[in-house]
Amino acid sequence: MIKGLKKKRRIQMILLAFVALALSTGLIGYAMRDGINFFRAPVQVMSDPPGPNETFRLGGLVEEGSLVRGQGETVTFRVTDGAATVPVSFTGILPDLFAEKEGVVGTGRMVAGVFVASEILAKHDETYMPKEVIEALKAQGTYVAPNG
């Protein structure tokens, strides 16, 4: 009798632990649903456009000659990976190291064919470029390693 009771309790504890793990995993996923932003290169954005309410990260190089400063803090430019180009609009203060022909990653949404960025990240030193941007540029055959 006692041996059967111990086995039954052990099975109940294992089942309870499994249910608790599944529940906590579900709650974590639910809490992070808005915080997960997928990275896309310009060629991916143009070939498979995201949904109108989808927030994602766009990365590539700021196209030379595309930077236009508008009224107030609004800036427009184009991000390219060598195969495709995406127009970007950003209202805010750009990072100090933001420049044409340099790597950039923006978080935002596509609105009427323009990537409206809520956040812009630029390289933090002369040689740094986000891993995702390097991989996207290598995939297009346009990556040039910095001298260093």
- C-alpha distances (whole Å) from 100 to each of 24, 30, 34, 60, 138 are 45, 38, 30, 11, 19
Residue at 147 is within a domain: no
Per-residue pLDDT band for 37 (boundaries 50, 70, 90) equals: low
**Are residues 72 and 118 in contact, defined by beta-carbon separation less than 8 angstroms?**
no
Distance in angstroms (rounded) separating the CA atoms of residues 55 and 139: 23
Task: Express each pLDDT in 75-126 by its tens digit.
Answer: 999 999 888 899 999 998 888 888 888 888 999 999 988 999 999 987 655 5
Q: Looking at the structure, do residues 3 and 74 belong to the same domain, yes or no?
A: no
Mark whether 32 and 73 lie in a shared domain: no
Q: How many residues does the chain have?
A: 148
Q: Are residues 10 and 57 in the same domain?
A: no
